[in-house]
Amino acid sequence: MNNRGVIADGAMGTMLQSRELSLEDDFQGLESCNDILNDTRPDVLADTHDAYFAVDAVETNTLGANWSILSDYGIEELARKGARIARERAEAAE
């Protein structure tokens, strides 16, 4: 494991569900759209990234990171924001 990376689908959704987030305020009424938290709650995402980095893992909050899903909500730019938040926390963890 020291010489190669492992790619796995993490539990970002599970980590977010463990937080007390409001459908109205945090999700702006967009049920099941975790990506909106890239805009509304970057602090929650930063905490989640930090928890992953504490065990030498990394993930992003880009659950709907494709045009067809995010365009349904009119928020296609959120995938880029999710990657940016993850990158910022990665640099902080270095």
d(C-alpha 56, C-alpha 38), whole Å: 22
| Sign of the alpha-carbon torsion through 45, 49, 50, 55 | positive
pLDDT at 44: 95
- Cβ atoms of 82 and 55 within 8 Å: the answer is no
For residue 1, pLDDT beyond 60:
no
pLDDT at 5: 58
Selected residue with higher pLDDT from 14 and 23: 23
pLDDT at 47: 93
For residue 6, pLDDT beyond 70:
no
For residue 90, pLDDT beyond 60:
yes
- Cβ atoms of 89 and 46 within 8 Å: the answer is yes
Which stretch of DSSP H or E encloses residue 12? helix 12-17
For the chain, the domains span 21-93
Per-residue pLDDT reduced to its tens digit, 18-63? 999 999 999 999 888 888 999 999 999 999 989 888 887 777 777 7
Q: In the block, which residue shows the tokens 């890239």?
A: 38
